[in-house]
Chains A and B, each alone.
Chain A
Amino acid sequence: MSDDECKACQEYSQISRRNFVGLSAGLVVGALAPGWLPRVVYAGSDSSSRDVIVSIFLRGGADSLSMVVPYAEDNYYQLRPTLAVPRPDGDDANRVSDLDGFFGFSPSMAPLREAYDDGSLLVVHACGSKDPTRSHFEAMRFMEAGQGSGAPTLETGWLGRHLQATASSSSEGVLRAVGIGAGLQRTLAGGPNTLPIADLDDFGLEGRAGTRKERRAALEELYAAWDDPLRTSADSTMRTVDLLRRIGFRGYKPKGGARYPENDFGYALKSAAALIKAEVGVEAIAIDLSGWDTHEFQGNLDGHMDYLMMTFAESLGAFHKDLFSDDMTDISVVVMSEFGRNVAENGSEGTDHGHGGMMLALGGGIAGGRVLTDWPGLADRDLYQGQDLEITIDYRDVLVEILERRVGNSNWRTVFPDSSYSPRTRGVTV
């Protein structure tokens, strides 16, 4: 690992989850499923034809202009003297890989090339949440809640409300959604039978084996008589313990030679793939990748951003390969970040908080293999507040179309109750 790459590790990593597992685990309940048994075993209860939604949030304000580079814009090269990624036609070893004659991938996004080329990955550029705030926390809150600052505060998230508004796709509906992490993402807040789970492979009741049954019975009874939110949380937890025990993530073998990187994000996507393939009725999964707040020395080619993009692209590339080579294409992955960054770099070879960014969508029903955009341009007069990429596609347009066409929920007003918003069909799905 080079010195520059390393800056990435610390920002990105909270301590690696994997290093902790096994310390206190050991006492996982009962018999595990014998090896990895795919669908056939569990398919019984689930007759869903809806896509599973995987919502990936790049936290910190991802510099979309470094991920999908508008290399045909001279302004981009003028405003980013040290950060710009060289044009695809040059002879730099590290240069943009052309997508459509105007945009191209940064070198470290290369692992997503296959998904783009087979038409399952769509880039939506100059896209985002139109709220003007430059605060990470406010921007994330608005985006995840699915509303702008003018609307009354919503505690629930867009995906949580979607689940509320639709019946479970499986007869059991034990676990409809999972937020990978120790605290639930706001995106999923309010979702029925929705739990944050830090590690899907380590979700069992511990303690002395001899008294586990009695202890469990006692907890079930006590929490059932308590108030929400603890009551519901405990109930979902118990049922999910049983559900996940049947799956046995440890023995999971990705298909098609997919190789997930050995880091938290790769592990999260690998677990998500296992969960989707088990077909136990999970309809939505939220996953975070943090560390995108690149105020200094962002290193698009050999530093922090390079590491982050690589982590992101390798993981999502593996996820695509794993599922698609197993013919599991009924998924819709959506990728977003709270805002993009200033078009001009700052004095620390980094970028400050901006406005417009991009989204990615990936799945069997996504009209991919192209960059969908109403490109506003990067000339001075085109910039938002004179400094940022303008937003010409509301991020909600992407989500509404996916919910409607891929998940069968056309009640977008419940999901995005902001009265000033009405969706436009952008051709995100096939």
Chain B
Amino acid sequence: MPLLDIKNLTLEIDTGTQSIKALDKINLTVNSGEIRALVGESGSGKSLIVQAIAGATPPNWTITADRMSWSGNNLLSMSEQQRRQILRKDIGVVFQNALASLDPSVTLGEQLEESLPDQLVEGNWFWQRKQNRRKVVVSTVHKVGIKDHEHYLRAYPHQIPTDIGQKLMLAMALISQPKMLIADDPTRGMETTTKVQVLKLLSRLNQTRSLGILFVSHDLLAIASMSDTMTVLYCGQTVESGKMKNIRKRPLHPYTKALLDSAPSFTKDLPPKSELPTLAGTIPTLQHLPIGCRLGPRCPRAQRDCVNVPAVRKIHDHSYSCHFPLHRDKS
């Protein structure tokens, strides 16, 4: 049974004069013990999905979905109270831009202690509970790779460097021992050694605690090394999804191919200083989305049919939506 199951999620933003379909029929499932990567460039709606799952939506957004369930329970028909309880207990969220999501007026130690649920603290008397709470916080901080806990737990968010903030955000999400972790770009801007550290921590938790992870990022190198399955988004549409292995070996959608080509480490026989293959043009803004397949204007294989939204097609576990997929002309 999948932990998180989303079918045909559509998110509309009402701007007053018009309503924009920021997400268009997104399908996404995360099984327990699975690392699912959600890949897409900025403006593709990755963070919107995260916000929709977390329920942190402004009043002018309308979310409709055929199915959006958390281990069998429908998230959309739930009361605010129940939903918040699930979020508190079972889902840990690492938001993008860690330093901005931390409370600027409270020290990091206090914030961490606050996000630790009471039932996870041992002891009957308040002094024991206080000590144990501190102990759990310190051990979690060590686990995410911050050594100098004395200094950082006493600091305020503006006093710490970004990568420490990102790690602390991760600690805050993990401290309540969730079943699933939603990590929105947890390794952005990190240098390689720190990044590897964080990725190792995540895959270890995935193996030991069978933690389901929704890993949202555009860093393909990081994703390829740890995730089992991948979903590629472009401008609010699901482009391709399936096993990481299959997609890497044989992408079916032109956009996925362009994305894989953009990381020079993947292509083995690339002569140094040669031109990297890439898509022309830029990512369209939400106000000026093209009709039909949203990749249309940038796609090298676009034809007349592309003004209609392509249906989702499936080959085993591998689903894609394109009128002219890449495997057609090989056979």
Whether both chains belong to one complex is answered with no
Chain A residues at the B interface, C-beta cutoff of 8 Å: none
